[in-house]
Amino acid sequence: MSRAISPSSARPFSLVRVCRLSGVPRATAQAHRALAQVPAELRPVRRRPGPVGACTDGELALAIRWEIAASPWHGEGYRKIWARLRFRGIRTGRDRVLRIMREQQLLSPQRAPDLVAKWLHDGTITTDTPDEMWGTDMTETITLDDGRAYVFINVDHCTGELIGVHAARHPNRWEALEPIRQGVREQFGKFMPGIAAGLKLRHDHGTQYMSHDFQAEIALLGIESSPSFVRQPEGNGIAERFIRTLKENLLWIEHFDTIEDLRLALQRFKNTYNQEWILERHGYLTPTQKRATLTPPLTLEIAA
C-alpha cells in the first residue's frame, strides 16, 4: 500500500500513514518486507514455540507408528498411545501426540479393520414377488406422558408395503415379534406352524432379533432368518428407508400423549402409506396397487 500512488497528490503513500490506518506496527511491516525479498528456499522454517521435547516430530511419528503396529488392539486412541510411549521412556505431551497422529492420519477411525471383501453389498435386496422377503427394524420416539417409546416395523421387499407396525414401552424381543405376527395373519390368513414357509426375514444384529425366542418363533412359522452383514445397513435398506419416511411424515411432525395414541396413529399411517405413497421403482404405483398387479385375482368356480 505504501508503494501505491495517491490520486490527489500524485505521490506514494507514506509507510507511517499506512501503518497508522491499518493498525500494524511499522517494525512488523518492515520485517515482512524484508522477508519477502528472501528466496523461499532460504527462509527459516517456522515451528511451534517452546522446547522440542524428547525427540523431533519425525522421530515421534515413527515411535507412534511402531506402537500402533505392535499393539494387538484396534481402535486405541491417542491417549493410550501417549501412555505406551511413556512406558518406553518417551515423555511428551498428549496434545503433541494428538497433533502428530492427526497430521499423519493415525487416529483410530483411520485404523479400523477392513471389511471382508465377500461381505460387500454388490447385489439387490428387492424381490420380484410379494411375501418372498420382509424387512424389519426398530426406531424410537418420545411421548409426552409415557416418555420414550419404541417403534417396530415390517416392510415387504417387493411391493414396499408396510406389513406390520407396533409401538411399545420396552424394546424387547416379544415386542419385536408383533409386526411379524401382524404380517403373517394379514398375508397368510392364519397363524400356525409352517404357514409362512418360503419367506425370508431381513433384520440387523440387534439383540431383539438375534435372541433365541425371536429366532425360534419365526422358525416355527417357517420363516428363514436373513440377517444383514455387520456394519452394512444397506443390507436392510428397505426397512431403513421406510423408517426415514415414517420419521419425516409422522414421528417428527406430530406429538403423542401416550404410547397407545402413538400405536393408533401408526395403524392409521399404515393404511395411508399403503394406499397413497407412490414409489418410483414401481412406476409411481402405491404399494397396494403394486401388489394388485402381481397377485392374480381370485376366481370362483361354479358347479354345473
**140 and 259, same structural domain?**
yes
Is residue 304, in this structure, part of any structural domain at all? no
**97 and 137, same structural domain?**
no
Q: DSSP label at 190?
A: S
Which stretches of the chain are assigned E, i.e. beta strand?
Answer: 133-143, 147-156, 162-168, 200-203, 224-227
**265 and 143, same structural domain?**
yes
Is residue 89, in this structure, part of any structural domain at all? yes
Residue 65 CA from chain centroid, whole number = 29
Q: Is the pTM of this model over 0.85?
A: no
Is residue 118, in this structure, part of any structural domain at all? no
**78 and 25, same structural domain?**
no
Is residue 72, in this structure, part of any structural domain at all? yes
**174 and 103, same structural domain?**
no
Is residue 281, in this structure, part of any structural domain at all? yes
Distance between CA 200 and CA 265 in Å, rounded? Answer: 28
**265 and 168, same structural domain?**
yes
**103 and 140, same structural domain?**
no
pLDDT score of 304: 46
Q: Which three cell numbers stand for residue 248?
A: 419425516
Distance between CA 26 and CA 16 in Å, rounded? Answer: 7
pLDDT score of 74: 74
Distance between CA 298 and CA 288 in Å, rounded? Answer: 16
Distance between CA 158 and CA 138 in Å, rounded? Answer: 20
**217 and 274, same structural domain?**
yes
Question: Domain tally for the chain?
Answer: 3
**Domain span including residue 286:** 133-294
**283 and 251, same structural domain?**
yes
CATH code (residue 242): 3.30.420.10
Instruction: Quickly tell me which residue has 416355527 as its cell.
Output: 220
**211 and 82, same structural domain?**
no
Contact between 233 and 202 under an 8 Å Cβ cutoff? The reply is no
Instruction: Quickly tell me which residue has 525427540 as its cell.
Output: 55
Distance between CA 203 and CA 52 in Å, rounded? Answer: 54
**61 and 24, same structural domain?**
no
- What is each CA distance from 202 to 27, 125, 228, in whole angstroms? 71, 9, 7
**146 and 69, same structural domain?**
no
Instruction: Single out the residue of 128, 123, 183, 131 nearest to residue 152, CA to CA.
Output: 183
Is residue 119, in this structure, part of any structural domain at all? no
Contact between 160 and 273 under an 8 Å Cβ cutoff? The reply is no
Is residue 302, in this structure, part of any structural domain at all? no
Distance between CA 163 and CA 270 in Å, rounded? Answer: 8
pLDDT score of 300: 47
pLDDT score of 37: 80
Q: Averaged in consecutive runs of 10 residues, what is the pLDDT profile of the chain (304 residues)? A: 62 76 83 79 68 79 92 83 91 91 82 54 82 96 96 96 96 96 94 94 94 96 92 86 95 95 97 94 93 72 51
pLDDT score of 286: 95
